[in-house]
Amino acid sequence: MRFALKSIVAFTAISILSSTGALAQSVANPIAPTSAITGAGAAAYSAARTAPRVSPELAAAAGGGNYASTLEIGAYNKVFQAQLGSGNTSNVGIIKGYGNSVGVLQAGNNLKSNVGLINTQGLNVGVIQPNGSAPVNVLIARLPGGGLLIAR
């Protein structure tokens, strides 16, 4: 699925405005009743006041300080990241990929992993980090000549 950059920027701006309540408040009651319309000294109705909802992407992280991020540019890619413990960081990026699967399991504290797939097709990559493991940094790229670059 392709999105134009302008659409993504507009969607992000609308999401931020609606999560802060700025957009919701300006749209909630565009025409306020006046005493002349209602015939009374006070308005006949008022806009509903509700707390703005925050999307999961903008919400504060839960306790434990774990962080997992995924960037997928391509089609039919699958990424699964699970973190048990605290202070773990996991980043997975798939750029121009098709039909790849990446799984990351971190079971411990203060574990770090970075996985990058560039121009790959049909690869299955698994990262399992028990407590006390060294950081995992892997880049796998399909080169223009058809070769495969694996950098650690």
If asked whether residues 121 and 135 sit together in one domain, one would say yes
pLDDT category of residue 111 using cuts at 50, 70 and 90: very high
If asked whether residues 68 and 113 sit together in one domain, one would say yes
Is the pLDDT reported for residue 2 higher than 70? no
Alpha-carbon distance values, 56 to 19, 61, 70, 95, 123 (Å): 10, 9, 14, 24, 29
Range of the domain at 14: 1-60
What is the rounded average pLDDT of the residues 62-69? 81
If asked whether residues 2 and 52 sit together in one domain, one would say yes
Domain end point (choices 43, 60, 77) = 60
CA-wise closest residue to 94 among 119, 114, 128, 124: 119
Q: What is the pLDDT of residue 89?
A: 94
Sheet holding 148-151, edge to edge: 67-75, 89-98, 112-118, 136-142, 148-151
If asked whether residues 77 and 133 sit together in one domain, one would say yes
Domain end point (choices 10, 38, 60) = 60
If asked whether residues 146 and 71 sit together in one domain, one would say yes
Q: Is the pTM of this model over 0.75?
A: no
pLDDT category of residue 146 using cuts at 50, 70 and 90: confident
Q: What is the pLDDT of residue 74?
A: 92
CA-wise closest residue to 132 among 106, 108, 104: 108
If asked whether residues 98 and 141 sit together in one domain, one would say yes
